[in-house]
Structure 1
Amino acid sequence: MPRGGQAQAAGWAGTTTAAPGLLAFTGAIGSAEPHAHAAVQILVVLDGEVTLTDRHGHRCRTEAAIIPAGVRHGLRAAPGAHGLLAYLDPAHPAGRAAGTRIAMAGDADIASTWQAAARPLTATAVTSKITGPAALPGVLCSIGLPTGTRRPPAVLSRALETVPQLIDGPLLLSEIAARVGVSASRLGHLFAEHLQLPFPAWRRWARLLHAIEAVREGATLTEAAHGAGFADSSHLTRVCHEMFGLAPSRLIHLLRPTA
């Protein structure tokens, strides 16, 4: 079952929800400096004005967008903006479906492509009166599985299943490959081809999700960092900022459930 928690921090105030392959936030949206995360991001603006900036400097006001993994972007929200942001593991079925929509819409580096990929989400936001965490299932369903969505090969699925057993250690590609019976180079190719991310980037995302879950369950930053294989809490906070464009203290506060 997903676990939710109230969140409030400098421009961001709402509810977080976590489940396997998914981290979601609903509520008041703040701004984020240019960043690139290893997740496919879904943004649905329910009220107010939100502007996205792509790596070329193009800016566009948006009602909904699907932003691909590994693509640098910034976010500016006017006071009073509310909406939903979901971060999908690119290995998750919803993440793969969202990634396929981006590929079908055009150049993945351009903000207008992100908007075009999200047209079904715009329709969902307009026609549905449901807001908050309850809106998330409808948003994910509206992504669908467009024609051409490929399921990952069995060997990649097995590799992903081994990660939780190794997350607190070096999490080497060669070790995972040996466990599933393929070469490291072949497994690295599968990560890049099917998840649209090189293995090191996906590994940072996997570690961050693991640490986030530990923090949500009451662990200190140091405990969460060590349990997820980060060198220390400073390493964890640097990765948080790189992937979410927020000061680490803000992000961790957003993800802590209230008593």
Structure 2
Amino acid sequence: MTLPTDTWRGSTVLRPGWLAFTGSAGATEAHAHAAVQVLLVTAGRIELSDVHGTRRPVHAAIIPTRTVHSLYGNADATATMLYLDPDSAPGRHVTARLSGLAREELGTWVAAARDLLPPDAHTRAPSALVEGWEPVAARRNPGLMAAVEALPRMLHAAVRLTDLAAAVGLSPSRLGHLFTTELGLSFPTYLRWARLRRVMELARDGANLTEAAHGAGFSDSSHLTRACHEMFGLAPSRLIQAVRSADLSKSPGEASRDA
């Protein structure tokens, strides 16, 4: 599939626990995020398709983690796309309310947006949406949370589950089980998501594609490219273009910059 190269233009906010893109939306290949995606169409026409081949225009959708989908925006399409880390409070809030539903079906994503998003969601800044979701009552296993906290400091090199488990005092099998049962992601999938977030952080700070790939622990640019296509349906150059200088210490409005 050949995708347009000039349709994804906008601004990106990168914050702890979530990131958001606001701007012109083009098309993607079939892909599956490690994050929970909240899609808000602000102009034009955007269609989503699911793994069953259902395709239709949407006004808003909430897409669970590891759910295969594609996106098609017309020439006038603009949107806000919010990606919630599965271990973050808003990510847990949304995921808990999708539990038990037909998560691979487009109709579920549209219904979830109708049920979970406020009526004025399309006019709110991404930070305001995130702040509106309170954490669910259930607490994560402390060993898993320690692993999630430790992982970013290890991304510059190869990360083995055995090493991470030893660092937090768990057996590899137990830690792998916790990633799957509590975050809904296998450890390798969560690791790829963490590396991609690191790529975006490095790109925000001025790194080129090769520098960002190595700094995030990808073996080479080809490895990064495969991961980007798998999780975003886009080449990494499109993400690099969108993520330009978002300072985590600033407010979301200050942090975004036109790509």
TM-score band (shorter)? 0.7 to 0.9
Number of the residue aligned with 2:163: 175
Q: Say which of 73, 96, 101 aligns to 1:100.
A: 96
Does residue 31 (structure 1) correspond to residue 27 (structure 2)? The answer is yes
Aligned residue in 1 for 2:75: 79
Contact (CA 8 Å) 2:46, 2:72: kept in 1 or not? yes
What amino acid is aligned across from residue 252 of structure 1 in structure 2?
I
Instruction: From 106, 111, 115, give the equivalent of 1:111.
Output: 106
Q: Displacement, 1:145?
A: 4.5
Deviation at 1:229, TM superposition (A): 1.0
From 60, 63, 73, give the equivalent of 1:64: 60
Amino acid at match of 1:114: W
Asked if structure 1 preserves the Cα contact closer than 8 Å seen for 2:32 and 2:231, the reply is yes
Structure having the larger proportion of residues in strand = 1
In the other structure, the counterpart of 1:154 is: 142
**Whole-Å Cα distance in 2 between the matches of residues 188 and 181 of structure 1?**
13
Correspondent of 2:87 among 88, 91, 109: 91
- Provide the TM-score with structure 2 as the length reference: 0.87
Which sits farther off after the overlay, 22-31 or 198-207?
22-31
With 221-230 and 203-212 compared, the bigger mean Cα shift is at: 221-230
Aligned-partner residue type, residue 140 of structure 1: V
* Aligned-partner Cα distance in 2 for 1:247–1:159: 29
Amino acid at match of 1:183: S
CA contact 1:63–1:122 (8 Å) conserved in 2: no
116-125 or 221-230, which deviates more: 116-125
Output one character per residue of 1:31-80: Cα deviation in whole Å (capped at 9) or x when no partner.
11111121111101122221110101111321111111111100011221
User: What residue identity is the alignment partner of 1:24?
Assistant: A
Determine whether 1:123 maps to 2:119: yes
SS at structure 2 position matched to 1:123: coil
CA distance in 1, matches of 2:217, 2:135: 34
What residue is the counterpart of 2:127 in the other structure? Answer: 137
- What SS does structure 2 have at the residue aligned with 1:107? coil
1:121, distance to aligned residue in structure 2 (A): 2.1
Aligned-partner SS, 2:193: helix
The DSSP-based 3-state class of the residue aligned with 2:52 is coil
Pairing partner for 1:48 from 41, 44, 50: 44
> Aligned-pair distance for 1:122?
5.8
How far off its partner does 1:224 sit? 1.5
2:172 to 175, 178, 184: 184
Look up the equivalent residue of 1:20 and give its one-letter code.
P
Counterpart of 2:242, as a letter, is: L
Q: Which amino acid aligns with 2:99?
A: A
- Paired with 2:208 and 2:46, the residues of 1 have a C-alpha distance of 33
**1:64·1:122 contact (CA, 8 Å) conserved in 2?**
no
Distance of aligned partners of 1:124 and 1:144 in 2 relative to their CA distance in 1, 3 Å threshold: farther
**Any unmatched runs of 5+ in structure 1?**
1-8
Are the aligned partners of 1:46 and 1:125 in contact in 2 as well (CA < 8 Å)? no
User: Are residues 1:232 and 2:227 paired?
Assistant: no
Letter in 2 for 1:46: T
After superposition, the CA RMSD in angstroms is 1.9
SS across alignment from 2:108: helix
Instruction: Report the Cα offset of residue 236 of structure 1.
Output: 1.2
Distance 1:19 1:180, change over 3 A: same
- What is the CA–CA distance in structure 1 between the aligned matches of 2:135 and 2:17, rounded to whole Å? 16
- Percent identical among aligned pairs is 47
Contact 1:60 1:112 in 2 (8 A): no
**CA distance 1:161–1:145, shift in 2 (3 Å):** closer
Q: Distance in 2 between matches of 1:80 and 1:178?
A: 51
User: Which one-letter code corresponds to 1:110 in the other structure?
Assistant: E
The count of aligned residue pairs is: 242
